[in-house]
Chains A and B, each alone.
Chain A
Amino acid sequence: MPDEPQASRDATVADTIERVRLEQFPDVDRDLMLEILRLHAGGIVADNASRLVDEAIAKRAAEMI
Chain B
Amino acid sequence: MLRIKSLHLKDFGAFKGEQAFDLPDGEGVTVFYGENMRGKTTLLNAFRFALFGKIIGRGRRPVSFHDMINWEARSEGARSFEVQLNLTYAGADYRLIRTCRPKGSASTPIGHNDYVADYYLERGGHILSPQQAAVEIEQILPEQIARFFLFDGELLQEYEDLLHGDTDMGPKISQAIERILGLPTLTKSRESLKAALDKAEERVAVAAQGDQKTREFGNQLQSLVEEREVLTGDLFRHEKDLEILRGRKVAIEDDMRRRERMASLLDKRDRLAGEVTTLEGVVQQKKDDITKAMSPAWSAILRPQLTAAVAAHRTREADLQSAVTRAQVLHSLAEGHDASCPTCLQSVSSDAQAKIRALLPDVGVGSPDADQRELGSVRRRLDALENQLALANPDALRVLWSDLEARRREVYSKTAEIEEIGKQLTGDAEDELKGLRREYDSVVRQIAALEDGVKATTEKLATNANYRDTIQKRLDKLAGGQMESERRRRDLASRLHDLFKDSVDVYRDQLRHRVEADASRYFKQLTTEQDYEGLRINDSYGLTIMHRDGSDIPIRSAGAEHVVALSLVAALQNNAQLRGPIVIDSPFGRLDGGHRSKIVEVLPDMADQIILLVYEEELPPARAREALKGRLRAEWALERQSARHTELVKR
User: Chain A: residues with CB nearer than 8 A to chain B?
Assistant: 1-2, 4, 8-9, 11-13, 16-17, 19-21, 24-25, 27-28, 32-33, 36-37, 39-45, 49-50, 53-54, 57-58, 60-62, 64-65
Task: Pick the interface stretch among B208-216, B310-318, B571-579.
Answer: B571-579
| Residues of chain A lying within 8 A (CB to CB) of residue B199 | 54
CB distance from A62 to the nearest CB of B (A): 7
Whether B184 contacts A40 by the Cβ 8 Å rule is yes
With A16-B510, A43-B184: A9-B574 Cβ-Cβ less than 8 Å:
yes
Interface residues on B, range: 35 or more
With A24-B502, A64-B488: A17-B186 Cβ-Cβ less than 8 Å? yes
Known A20-B506, A24-B499, A33-B496; 8 more pairs at CB < 8 Å: A20-B503, A25-B499, A36-B496, A39-B189, A43-B179, A43-B183, A57-B200, A61-B492
- Say yes or no: is B464 at the interface (Cβ < 8 Å to chain A): no
Interface residues in B501-525 by Cβ distance below 8 A to A read 502-503, 506-507, 510, 514, 517-518, 521-522, 525
Establish whether residues B510 and A42, one from each chain, have CB atoms under 8 Å apart when the complex forms. no
B182 CB-CB contact with A under 8 Å: yes
- Compute how far the CA of A1 lies from the CA of B200 in the bound complex, rounded to whole angstroms: 49
Closest 10 CB pairs of A and B: A43-B184, A1-B605, A61-B489, A17-B503, A40-B188, A61-B488, A40-B189, A25-B499, A16-B507, A53-B192
**B577:A13 contact, CB within 8 angstroms:** yes
Q: Which of A4, A16, A60 has the most CB of B within 10 A?
A: A16
A1 engages B602 (CB within 8 Å): yes
Per the bound structure, the CA–CA distance linking A63 and B506 in Å amounts to 30
Q: Is the CB of B139 within 8 A of A42?
A: yes
**Chain A residue at smallest Cβ distance from B487:** A61
Task: Tell whether A17 pairs with B517 under 8 Å between CB atoms, given A40-B184, A57-B492.
Answer: no
Chain A residue numbers with a CB within 8 Å of B150 are none
Q: Are B196 and A43 in contact (CB under 8 A)?
A: no
A60 CA to B495 CA in the complex, in Å? 13
Chain A residue at minimal CB-CB distance from B603: A1
CB-based nearest A residue for B135: A44
Q: 23 pairs across A/B with beta carbons < 8 Å?
A: A1-B574, A9-B575, A13-B186, A16-B503, A16-B506, A17-B500, A17-B507, A21-B499, A25-B499, A28-B496, A32-B492, A32-B496, A40-B184, A43-B179, A44-B135, A45-B188, A50-B192, A57-B489, A57-B492, A57-B496, A58-B489, A62-B485, A65-B488
